[in-house]
Copies of this chain bind each other. A is one copy, B any other.
Amino acid sequence: MSEARATIYTVARAVGVSAQTVSRVLNGTGQVSEKTRAAVFAAIEAQDYRPNAVGRSLRASRTPMIGVLVADIGNPFYARLHRAIERRVAGSGYSLMLMNCDDDAQIERHQLDLLRSYRPTGLVIVPSIGSSLSDDDLRAFGHVVSVSRVLDDVHVPAVVTNGREAVGDATAELLAHGHTEIAMILGPRKASTTRDREEGFNAALSRSPGCRGLVRHTDGTRSGGEAAASELLRTHPGVTGMIGFNALVTEGIVSAVRTAGRRCPDDVSIIGFTDAGWMTLYPPAISVIDQPVEEMGALAGDLLLDMASGKSVDPGPRVVPSTLIRRGSVAPPATTKERKA
């Protein structure tokens, strides 16, 4: 109680061995006689000794910690991603240190400096929208994996989904149902994910002459999505299909369609991106491009663990495919239905 904090030395003294021997017992390195080992464990228990990770890290010039920097942990996508990384990394000896940057390039840099001061073993990063991070900035972390969004001119392993193809499929799905005027409500222009998905949308439409595609950029939030969708429904009453950039924007679209007095899927068909619990609850259930968040997080964890264990991992993107889940929010547009009838 009143004794000073237990250290490797107080344990060593109690047993009558050197600190070095205690260290060996603790780490399971080298040879220690069974008798000594038992005595050390007994002293550890008696003193309630707990290793000090700070001393260990300082000596090793490295902390068994992996930094995770995301744009917004309040966004379920990032929360699930973090959880998936954590599950993969559990038991590997590494802990995770989570940081937020509110999608602000300056905060991102600040958080990264902070993280770096602890000399972590690696970093998993979802770069911020206007990120100014360079190869050099990331190289300082040793092992880096980027997830979801990709940084220009930076050569680190990245885990991404096939947004281009997936949105292409979703667009094709609407076209196949007879929609001829389709809108995509995107995220911020500078995000690589926005570019990918926009390309997929435009490519699919360019293959369908006579059909029109409309695109809007937003901040990727529910209110941003709602505002853009409302404006579109008002100014382009011919739009009968809409694709959301992410789950939040899709919430906004669904809300805007209802507020505008249109019905889904009778008047407007909707396809979301990234599944969410409410999408199966809503009537009609929302069709969605299901992003494999868990697989993406697990793969990012794998890559980092591989790099940390010395395996060489080549830079560049790993694509984990998203797939279209068909539910009830897509139907032929009213005009087509009438024509058929």
Contact = CB atoms under 8 A, between A and B. Distances in A.
A283 B95 CA distance: 43
A165 B115 CA distance: 42
B283 A283 contact: yes
Nearest to A80: B74
B278 A281 contact: yes
Given A79-B79, A281-B254, A283-B258, A55 B58 contact: yes
A117 B52 CA distance: 5
A88 to B, nearest CB: 13
Contacts of A117: 50-54
Contact of A98 (B52, B98, B116, B118): B98
Interface in A247-287: 248, 251, 254-255, 258, 276-278, 280-283
Contact of A251 (B98, B277, B283): B277
Contacts of A281: 251, 254-255, 258, 278, 282
Work out how many copies of this chain go into the complex. 2
A315 interface: no
A82 interface: yes
Q: Which of A52, A53, A55, A116 has the most CB of B within 10 A?
A: A53
Contacts of A324: none
Interface string A38-73: 000000000000111111011000010000000011
Interface in A174-197: none
Interface of A: 50-55, 57-58, 63, 72-74, 76, 79-80, 82-83, 86, 95-100, 113-114, 116-119, 222, 248, 251, 254-255, 258, 276-278, 280-283
- Give 9 nearest A-B pairs by CB, closest first: A278-B278, A53-B117, A98-B98, A79-B79, A74-B83, A54-B57, A54-B58, A53-B118, A58-B58
Given A54-B54, A54-B63, A76-B76, 5 more contacts: A52-B117, A73-B83, A79-B79, A251-B281, A277-B278
28 contacts: A50-B113, A52-B58, A52-B117, A52-B119, A53-B114, A53-B118, A54-B54, A54-B57, A54-B58, A54-B118, A54-B119, A55-B58, A58-B58, A72-B83, A73-B73, A74-B83, A86-B100, A95-B99, A95-B114, A96-B99, A97-B97, A222-B277, A251-B277, A276-B278, A278-B278, A278-B282, A281-B282, A282-B282
